[in-house]
């Protein structure tokens, strides 16, 4: 049988992390001792009290049925309280909060609610791949906003052509940023809100890394800024904050019309998050805050070991204020991020993520994840001494 793919699916580039996984499997099959600084998957376990709540909830037959599309009231209440405590932002748990099967799911699906053929989404680059992928699958076109180091990896909205602005429906943002680790402050968000109001563009802010921060820095929520709820929503996730990547629980919150549109898409695609996982999410959000502080201190020690070690090798790398990524220009004698990453894998058994996987604007950089132990990071620096 001849299987014909849709035009939209054909437009999708290969998913970078799937390619990296394939290379890692091949290397491990050969018995090689890899140090994986590639995909950002926390190496620490989910906190015990969250696991215990999952077990308790999973033992209750009442939680074995279809979940509510809107999410359990208990989870929406926990999210509302968390936003008040963390950001002093008030949300309606009935109209302005929508639980998701991980924030990636909502990010990928939301273009289906707003884009028609010929419409644009404004996508910063380098970027998390689903911003582009979701746009393409919805029949829209990504318009790339290059994030440049000289502009602190913030998009220059003034350079977007008027012809694009007439057809632009969505603006993706992500701070603290993956992969660059850049952060954004109130002044930037204020300008974004003015821009969105002027051109009637919905803002989609991905804040998955807001709780991983260092040196006393506390990232802001887009929704803290006056007028933000008028123009957009924020995506959040328990994946990185509580080491729950495989659990798949996140949410969207903010503008009630945008939230309702995403909910309508989801009601035609999925049947909600397993109720026991939602109750575990409640335990995460309402549990002791000391755990998050402990994780931040752990990542900060790893950050310092890696960045200080790289700089001692002559590799000029800045220390990020947030996220568990280090974004670094290639050493001077290298030009191709994918060739450099392949060379490291072949010669040192170190896995990095090539910048080009996050878009053309990211060429010349690599991303390193702080999701390996301190001993592994020290060993990685020692291995790099032989070739850098």
Asked if 59 and 158 sit in the same domain, the reply is yes
Asked if 59 and 26 sit in the same domain, the reply is no
Sign of torsion over alpha carbons 23, 336, 183, 320: positive
Residue 19 confidence (pLDDT) above 80 = no
Asked if 225 and 372 sit in the same domain, the reply is no
Asked if 56 and 78 sit in the same domain, the reply is yes
Residue 198: predicted pLDDT: 97
3-class DSSP assignment, residue 28: helix
Asked if 116 and 32 sit in the same domain, the reply is no
Of the residues 233, 259, 286, the one at which a domain ends: 286
Quick check: is 1 in a domain?
A: no
**Residue 328 φ then ψ, to 5°:** -135, 140
DSSP states of 220-270: PPGGGSTTHHHHEEEEEESTTTTT-GGG--EEEEE-HHHHHHHHHHHHTT-
Is the Cβ–Cβ distance between 79 and 91 less than 8 Å? Answer: yes
To the nearest whole percent, how much of the chain has pLDDT over 70?
Answer: 99
Asked if 203 and 295 sit in the same domain, the reply is no
Of the residues 229, 260, 286, the one at which a domain ends: 286
Asked if 296 and 381 sit in the same domain, the reply is yes
Domain at 340, CATH number: 3.90.1150.10
Higher-confidence residue: 329 or 25? 329
Q: Which domain holds residue 134?
A: 48-286
Q: How confident is the model at residue 17 (pLDDT cuts 50, 70, 90)?
A: low
Residue 31: predicted pLDDT: 75
Tens digit of pLDDT for each residue in 47-95?
Answer: 999 999 999 999 999 999 988 778 999 999 999 999 999 999 999 999 9
Residue 153: predicted pLDDT: 96
Tens digit of pLDDT for each residue in 149-193?
Answer: 999 999 999 999 999 999 999 999 999 999 999 999 999 999 999
**Residue 378 φ then ψ, to 5°:** -60, -45
Asked if 37 and 116 sit in the same domain, the reply is no
Tens digit of pLDDT for each residue in 209-237?
Answer: 999 999 999 999 999 999 999 999 999 99
Residue 335 confidence (pLDDT) above 90 = no
Asked if 154 and 225 sit in the same domain, the reply is yes
Quick check: is 2 in a domain?
A: no
What does the pLDDT average to over 351-357? 91
Q: How confident is the model at residue 342 (pLDDT cuts 50, 70, 90)?
A: confident
**Closest by alpha carbon to 207, among 294, 316, 83, 297?**
83
Span of 143-147, 232-236, 255-259, 353-357 with lowest mean pLDDT: 353-357
Burial of 126 (0-12, 13-18, 19+ CB in 10 A): buried
Residue 265 confidence (pLDDT) above 90 = yes
Of the residues 233, 251, 286, the one at which a domain ends: 286
Asked if 185 and 251 sit in the same domain, the reply is yes
List for the chain the helix, strand, coil content (%; round to 5): 45, 15, 40
- Spell out the long-range contacts of 339-343 with Cβ–Cβ below 8 A and sequence spacing 24 or more: 340/366, 341/366, 343/387
Domain at 94, CATH number: 3.40.640.10
Q: How confident is the model at residue 16 (pLDDT cuts 50, 70, 90)?
A: low
Tens digit of pLDDT for each residue in 283-314?
Answer: 999 988 889 999 999 999 999 999 999 999 98
Domains identified in the chain, total number: 2
């Amino acid at each position: 049988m001849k299987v014909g793919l849709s035009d939209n699916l054909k437009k999708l580039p290969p998913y970078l992390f799937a390619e990296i996984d394939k290379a890692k499997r091949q290397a491990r099959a050969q018995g090689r001792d890899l140090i994986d600084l590639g995909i950002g998957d926390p190496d620490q376990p989910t906190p015990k009290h969250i696991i215990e709540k999952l077990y308790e909830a999973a033992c209750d037959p009442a939680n074995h049925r279809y979940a509510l599309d809107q999410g359990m009231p208990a989870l929406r209440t926990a999210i509302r309280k968390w936003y008040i405590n963390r950001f002093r932002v008030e949300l309606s748990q009935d109209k302005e909060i929508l639980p998701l099967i991980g924030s990636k799911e909502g990010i990928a699906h939301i273009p289906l609610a707003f884009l028609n053929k010929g419409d644009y989404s404004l996508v910063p680059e380098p970027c998390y791949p689903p911003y582009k992928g979701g746009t393409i699958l919805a029949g829209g076109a990504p318009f790339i906003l290059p994030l440049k180091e000289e502009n602190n990896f913030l998009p220059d909205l003034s350079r977007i052509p008027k012809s694009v602005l007439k057809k632009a429906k969505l603006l993706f943002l992500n701070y603290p940023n993956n992969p660059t680790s850049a952060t954004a402050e109130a002044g930037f968000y204020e300008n974004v809100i003015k821009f969105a109001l002027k051109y009637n563009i919905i803002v989609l802010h991905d804040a998955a890394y807001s709780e991983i921060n260092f040196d006393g820095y506390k990232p802001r929520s887009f929704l803290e800024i006056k007028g933000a709820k008028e123009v957009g929503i924020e995506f959040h996730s328990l994946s990185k904050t509580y080491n729950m990547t495989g659990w798949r629980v996140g949410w969207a919150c903010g503008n009630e019309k945008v939230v309702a549109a995403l909910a309508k898409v989801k009601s035609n695609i999925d049947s909600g998050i397993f109720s026991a996982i939602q109750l575990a999410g409640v335990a995460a959000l309402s549990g002791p805050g000391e755990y998050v502080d402990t994780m931040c201190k752990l990542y900060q020690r790893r950050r310092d070991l890696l960045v200080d070690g790289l700089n001692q090798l002559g590799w000029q790398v800045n220390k990020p204020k947030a996220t568990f990524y280090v974004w670094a220009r290639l050493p001077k004698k290298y030009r191709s991020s994918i060739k450099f990453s392949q060379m490291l894998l072949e010669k040192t058994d170190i896995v990095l993520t090539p910048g080009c996987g996050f878009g053309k604007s990211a060429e010349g950089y690599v991303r390193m994840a702080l999701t390996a132990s301190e001993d592994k990071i020290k060993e990685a620096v020692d291995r790099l001494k032989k070739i850098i």
